[in-house]
Amino acid sequence: MKRILLLVVALLAGAQSMAPAQAKPVQCRVPGYQAERIFPLPQVTKAIDKKRLVILVVGNGSSVLPGPTGASVSFPARLQVALSKMLPEVEVKVDTDVVARRVASDAVKSLPKALAEIKPALVVWQTGTVDAMQTIEPDQFSRALDAGINISRSAGADVVFVNAQYSPRTESMIALGVYAENMRWVAMQQEVPLFDRFGLMRLWSDMGTFDLYSATKKLDMAERVHDCIGLLLADLVIEAARTPKDR
Amino acid sequence: MAASPVPASTERDLRLDLFRGIALWLIFLGHIPSNTVSWITIRNYGFSDATEIFVFISGYSAAFVYGRAMQNAGFVIAAARVLKRAWQIYVAHVFLFAIYLAEIAYVSRNFDNPLYTEEMGVVDFMKNPDVTILQALMLKFKPVNMDVLPLYIVLLLWFAPILWLLLRSPTLGLLVSAAIYAVMWTFNINLPGYPSGGWVFNPFAWQLLFVLGAWCALGGAQRLGRWLNSPVLIGFAILYLAFAFSIAMTWYFPRLAVYVPAFVGEAIYPIDKANLDVLRILHFLSLAVITVYFVPRGWPALKRPMFWPAIVCGQHSLEIFCLGVFLSFAGHFVFTELSNTILSHFIVSFSGIAIMVGAAAMISWYKRAEKQIPRPPSRQPGFAGGDVK
């Protein structure tokens, strides 16, 4: 139901704004799209004040594109580019700990080492898909999320969640539902901003921004999707960093 | 021994067929991924969904049918009939699994996109079919949306003893069921799944609703009759549904979540579907109480043609359920291969329901026609000559 409303809002808004700029690059930002609840990111706010922002992206296969150029065009790299543009006076560095097919509880195990080495102000944690594919006990998944947040926070880093991709072809084969719900619930409880990649990509698909059904070996569409994810993730990080701590 | 509770009436309660038919439609709509039309399904407006309706009514009708068999023909015959039914459902499940394999095999051969390298790992189990297919036959590996029939099989496997108990002492039967539910919650018991985790519908939890349905069929509903019509109960049910509705709205409009007091959130989340959260049971019971109040037994309108399509689907629930699962695969296929517009969502959804109704009508017709066929010759004296006893 939310989807229909969003689509209507987006199409109405798009009809007004799109006409003159038809040939321009993809419109990533969807008018009317509401992010999940934004919670403050105090460490990021501090880091921006100190002109140096280090981010660690912890993720799975959907955080990196395949091929030799894959890493440079996937969303962590695009996040660094977007944030550098939005915060010209801040030195932004995005590191990654991306391992395909790693469940959340295993990602947590390698977290302390990565945190100690990189000392990020922010951990962007993309997760959910692999746990759903391996039908990990949902409780165990939630506990891993909680543990990851606690470990990151005690190492002086804020956390942003990125949920699963919207993948229409495999939708009838991977039951994301309960994992997405648990992520949302843990995010609310722990006051972690959630970047709703799933909802966003579905909206892009509905609006025809990207044809996520297309079967191709070429990287071009995947690159543009990751570019947009990096850009909107940067929007979210900045909005959250500007959110006052005690609302 | 106390007077045995006879199934309340011998006439079929059309309300059961009606609501089971509607539940089957909703399950079909909800099982097509990304289906716009599924916004009408009740899961979007509260805690429970069509699964609760389906399981409860299945328990009700199982007690109705096998309870009478158990009283007339004895425990062994009735138990054998229940097991035969479980076997039929198992075969149906394996049939659906074969269709699922075909779909997976097709996608793995025809779809490639660097964006979805990770997600395509889901077809990897095709690389070791020996393990996966065995796990599927053991009901441990269950593809997405194929969890209801395995639940039904397990519920039937132990239904004969619980039915025996319910026929002797309905209260004790219900208490045993509730105790299993409580033990399950205390010790976190579930059947194992594959590759990991437990069943999506934990049978130790969902049996409660099945047994509750059976208990109602065996006279429980009559005993509750006075309470069911009390305005206080109806008032509570309406209040609870309103509460669930307002919580559900915060799922779609996250900014509304600010208005949910922290202690309410703490108390209700997470709403556990696998283990049939108490909030879900209460939501289903509220729906049931209100439904029973407004749609009395033998309500003349039930015989009107407008209700016939749902009723006829509900009367052949196993066949129509399986058809629905198949159609939801097919519907998803249409979305991915042909067209994925909102218009096509409506066309696929409504033609799917039309096919379900058509198939149910055909099954009804065939069953009626078969009854009218003359009996085999051996029963007709003199027809086949000589072999009449």
Q: Greater confidence, B324 or B11?
A: B324
- Mean residue pLDDT of chain B comes to 89
| Burial class for A94, CB neighbours closer than 10 Å (0-12, 13-18, 19+) | buried
Residue (of A37, A102, A36) closest to A63 by Cα position: A102
- For residue B29, the number of C-alpha atoms closer than 13 Å in the C-beta half-sphere is 25
Answer whether the bond into residue B195 is a cis peptide, omega within 30°: yes
In a domain, B377, yes or no: no
Is residue A214's pLDDT more than 90?
Answer: no
Is residue B305's pLDDT more than 50?
Answer: yes
Is residue B340's pLDDT more than 80?
Answer: yes
Same-domain check for residues B306 and B319: yes
Question: Helix, strand, coil proportions of chain B in percent (round to 5)?
Answer: 75, 0, 25
pLDDT digits (tens, 9 = 90+) for B33-92: 888 898 888 888 999 999 999 999 999 999 999 999 999 999 999 999 999 999 999 999
Domain end marker among B279, B294, B309:
B294
In a domain, B177, yes or no: yes
Residue A29: pLDDT band (50, 70, 90) is confident
**What SS3 string covers B270-333?**
CCCCCCCCHHHHHHHHHHHHHHHHHCCCCCHHHHCHHHHHHHHHHCCHHHHHHHHHHHHHHHHH
A3/B contact by beta carbon, under 8 A: yes
Domain that holds residue B154: 55-215
A37/B144 CB distance under 8 A:
no
Same-domain check for residues B249 and B148: no
Which candidate from B33, B118, B342 shows the least CB-CB separation from A171?
A: B33
* Res B378: pLDDT: 54
Q: What residues 125-144 of chain A have any CB closer than 8 A to a CB of chain B? A: 129-130, 133-138, 140, 142
Name the domain count of chain B. 3
A142/B270 CB distance under 8 A:
yes
* Res A193: pLDDT: 94
Q: Which residues pair with A159 in a beta bridge?
A: A123
Same-domain check for residues B98 and B38: no
Same-domain check for residues B201 and B323: no
* Res A18: pLDDT: 42
Nearest-CA distance B268 → chain A (Å): 11
Nearest-CA distance B267 → chain A (Å): 12
Q: Greater confidence, B378 or A194?
A: A194
How far apart CA B279 and CA B288 sit, in angstroms, is 14
* Res B225: pLDDT: 79
B33/A174 CB distance under 8 A:
no
Is residue A6's pLDDT more than 50?
Answer: yes
Q: Work out the average pLDDT over B155-162.
A: 96
* Res B245: pLDDT: 95
A217/B270 CB distance under 8 A:
no
Query: Which residues contact residue A29 at a Cβ distance below 8 angstroms, ignoring those fewer than 6 apart?
Result: A231, A232, A235
Q: Specify the pTM.
A: 0.88
* Res B206: pLDDT: 97
Same-domain check for residues B209 and B305: no
Q: How many CB pairs under 8 A join A and B?
A: 139
Nearest-CA distance A89 → chain B (Å): 32
Q: Where are the alpha helices (H) located in A23-135, listed in sequence order?
A: 42-49, 70-73, 75-86, 104-109, 111-118, 129-133
User: Would you give the distance in Å from CA A136 to the centre of its chain?
Assistant: 21
- In chain A, the residue whose alpha carbon lies closest to the alpha carbon of B332 is A172
Is residue B387's pLDDT more than 50?
Answer: no
Residues of B in contact with A182 (CB under 8 A): 270
Same-domain check for residues B136 and B27: no
Q: What residues 24-63 of chain A have any CB closer than 8 A to a CB of chain B? A: 34, 36-37, 60-62
Nearest-CA distance B332 → chain A (Å): 8
A167/B196 CB distance under 8 A:
no
Residues of A in contact with B104 (CB under 8 A): 173
Nearest-CA distance A87 → chain B (Å): 27
Residue A246: pLDDT band (50, 70, 90) is low
Rg (CA), chain B: 23
Domain residue limits, chain A: 41-242
In a domain, B223, yes or no: no
Is residue B381's pLDDT more than 60?
Answer: no
Q: Which residues pair with B10 in a beta bridge?
A: none
Which candidate from B104, B122, B198 shows the least CB-CB separation from A137?
A: B198
Same-domain check for residues B35 and B104: no
A188/B contact by beta carbon, under 8 A: yes
In a domain, B386, yes or no: no
CATH of A41-242, one of 3.30.2130.10, 3.20.20.70, 3.40.50.1110, 2.60.40.420: 3.40.50.1110
Mutate to test the interface with B, among A5, A135, A216, A226 (most CBs of B within 10 A): A135
Which candidate from A137, A174, A178 shows the least CB-CB separation from B273?
A: A178
A116/B contact by beta carbon, under 8 A: no
How far apart CA B151 and CA B99 sit, in angstroms, is 19
In a domain, B221, yes or no: no
Same-domain check for residues B160 and B309: no
ipTM of this complex = 0.86
Residue A26: pLDDT band (50, 70, 90) is low
Domain end marker among B265, B294, B323:
B294
In a domain, B387, yes or no: no
Same-domain check for residues B195 and B100: yes
Q: What is the DSSP letter of B254?
A: G
B194/A66 CB distance under 8 A:
no
In a domain, B239, yes or no: yes
pLDDT digits (tens, 9 = 90+) for B168-204: 999 999 999 999 999 999 999 999 998 889 999 999 9
Same-domain check for residues B254 and B330: no
